[in-house]
Amino acid sequence: MTSTHSAPAPLADAVPHPDEHEHEHEHEHEREHDAAQAARGKAWRTVDRTMVLVVLSGVCLAAGMLAEAAGWSQPLTLALFGLAMAAGAVQIVPAGLRGVVRERSLDINFLVTVAVAGAVVLGQWGEGATVVFLFSLGELLEEITLARTRRSIQALMAMAPETAQVRQADASERTVRVEDVPAGSVVLVRPGDRVPLDGVVVHGASAVDQAPITGESVPADKTEGDAVFAGTINGQGYLEVRTTRPFSENTLARIIHLVEEAQSEKAPSQRFVEKFARVYTPLVVVCAVLLMAVPPLVFGEPLAPWFNRALVLLLVACPCALVVSTPVTVVAAIGNASRHGVLIKGGAYLEHAGRLRAVAFDKTGTLTRGVPEVQRVVALSSDTERELLQLAAAAEHRSEHPLARAIVRAARRQGLADLPVVESFEAATGSGVRARVAGRNVLAGRAAWVEAAGVPLGSVHVALEELAAAGQTPVVVAVEGQPAGVIALADALRPAAREAVAALRRTGVRRVVLVSGDTDATAQAIARQVGIAPEDVYAGLLPEDKVAAVRRLVEEQGAAAMVGDGVNDAPALAVATVGIAMGVAGSDAALDTADVALVADDLTRLPWVLELSRRAARTIRFNVGFAIVTKLVVLALGAFGYANLWLAIAADTGASIVVILNGMRLLGRVPLPAAADPARLRQRFGLGEEDEHHGHAH
């Protein structure tokens, strides 16, 4: 009987012919072109529409001014000014009326509508047209500028490939939309391709650029058993990846949703300004009415000049720049951080991070890698250090204990891959191993266990005491009943740990503290290596002790962060002013726990994000101050009759543009593929429609 299943095809057969691959890329370019067309269609309905109206308003305004200067007929001049006002009013008037009727609020659109109507009543058609043009120009510039903040999340979404090459049961491959690829599938990732979904490498080796997800500048080497993330870029190797999550749950999708939520969450200063504006704006309207009515009614003054001053007051006192000063800065900073592998959960945490004066570090998995590594080998017998390490690695090779794995890794790194033959093996759980290696009886394990087995350790005690003082864990090796040497292991320090601690102090952090459940000797040894003072080391702590230590730090310094792995340190992260989890790529629990998440295991991102937060705080303070000072200056000019309508709207719009551009400096450059269609990208990731006026003052 013939089998219905064909044998797996060779790898060369499974990979399509280059011509086929090029054909697929042609289709991909066609899809990108279609997406570009859709994107341009959407742009026409937003920025381009506003641009056409602004240009029309400006042309008519200029023509009206020329006609007025040339002494042409008044009906023609008024018609040109009327067209200039109408072009802007197409958007301004409906927006102002919606604000009053639906939202019960008096926004700048309503105030401009009233001011322009007042200018027409006073016969100041030229000023009314100038107000409309300047306001519409400001709207256009704001729209263009704020569109850059949206690009930060669009750039993230554009990283996800549209399709994946999925290996079928018969070893053939099929192109499948990534949304339709189930977990457990094997996808093929060729050189230069983006990884379509989170998964684990099952075949091949390559260097993968993880910068789009983790912010790491150096590609990470990936081989069988290593995790890879959707949106990262494969290097020169060929990979086969078994997916671990569906598209909607992959790391990139979770990051995008977190950034979207963070950018929509309001910072404390923003909430305060909005509450202030809700009271302030109606108060300004009342003051304008009184300014218009009291002098003519009480003091017999002429109505027209006071009516004009009231209109100026309405325009210049509107808190547009004040309202937009904070959200644009917060959104820009969060967008910048997300592209550099740092997730900030909201504006509140961005502001809190900017005032941190103390940072508490967990040790294991934070300052250290959380993986033991061989630090030194001390030979006490005729065997050399390399021979001792090779012998111990052979004995430990069958053990799954972390220390045993570390000894085997160290032997391989030193080129000792050809281990002696192991004739017998027995493991004592938590104590050590007993093996016969190349005809020799070998013990490797804890000193007390080896000594209990009848091996005299008098000559080893000095070495054991030195290792204990250094915070290192000893594995004693005995051969034929005699001590042969000691292998010292310790949790490996992260390369950037010392640099990160020094950089934190340069950013203004006064105290850096180490909180650890490890022994005092081990904690002190790590503290010495990274530059933490002995008095700032708290060792032997249970989870509740860490909580108490962090709480005391917050009380003493006013604001303190806790940096941990986001799972084991969750209680301490919760009581800190800002809880910071690191190395959270692929970890649901860590992403959910932290206020700030360092996606990669890169401690240098910590001082960077603190400095970004402080820059954001300084930017917000400048923006608020500039907005208030500008208003006060023009208000003073208006009170004495030196400010007219166009100067009032120029001051309001100009201040708004200045604070927006200043906040946008925190965003940095955001490259986005020309073919990326924002609406379609948001639909792919299950996000709602984008608010056209998100963060908009007007």
Judging by beta carbons within 10 Å of its beta carbon (0-12, 13-18, 19+), is residue 400 exposed, middle or buried? exposed
Which of 108, 59, 110 lies closest to 81 in space, CA to CA? 59
DSSP state of 215: -
Contact 435, 424 (CB under 8 A): yes
DSSP state of 356: -
The rounded distance, in Å, linking the Cα atoms of 524 and 540 is 11
Backbone angles phi, psi at 143, to 5 degrees: -65, -45
Q: Name beta bridge partners: 358.
A: 511, 560
Strand extents, DSSP E, 183-312: 186-189, 199-204, 206-209, 220-222, 227-228, 233-234, 239-243
Strand extents, DSSP E, 281-391: 342-344, 358-362, 368-379
For residue 502, the tally of other CB atoms under 10 A from its CB is: 13
Which of 13, 673, 608, 612 lies closest to 347 in space, CA to CA? 612
The rounded distance, in Å, linking the Cα atoms of 638 and 205 is 71
The rounded distance, in Å, linking the Cα atoms of 152 and 689 is 16
CB burial of 16-27 (b: ≥16 within 10 Å; e: otherwise) equals beeeeeeeeeee
- Torsion, Cα of 299, 301, 304, 305 (10° steps): -100
The rounded distance, in Å, linking the Cα atoms of 427 and 396 is 9
Which of 261, 361, 336, 363 lies closest to 608 in space, CA to CA? 336
The rounded distance, in Å, linking the Cα atoms of 410 and 407 is 5
Q: Checking DSSP bridges between strand 560-564 and strand 537-538, what pairing results, if any? A: unpaired
The rounded distance, in Å, linking the Cα atoms of 369 and 633 is 57
DSSP state of 363: I
Q: What is the CA radius of gyration of the chain?
A: 34
Outline where 340-482 has alpha helix (H). 347-353, 385-396, 402-413, 447-452, 461-469
Q: Which helix (H) or strand (E) holds 524?
A: helix 520-530
- The distance of Cα 421 from the centroid of its chain, to the nearest Å, equals 51
- Active-site residue among 362, 518, 569, 602? 362
The rounded distance, in Å, linking the Cα atoms of 280 and 104 is 14
Q: Checking DSSP bridges between strand 199-204 and strand 227-228, what pairing results, if any? A: antiparallel
Outline where 360-460 has alpha helix (H). 385-396, 402-413, 447-452
Which of 414, 366, 368 lies closest to 388 in space, CA to CA? 414
State which amino acid sits at residue 221. D
**Can 362 be counted among the known catalytic residues?**
yes
Angle between helices 49-70 and 74-101 (to 10 degrees): 150
Strands across the sheet with 173-177, in order? Answer: 173-177, 163-167, 186-189, 239-243, 199-204, 227-228
For residue 202, the tally of other CB atoms under 10 A from its CB is: 13
Q: Name beta bridge partners: 362.
A: 515
Q: Which residues are catalytic?
A: 362
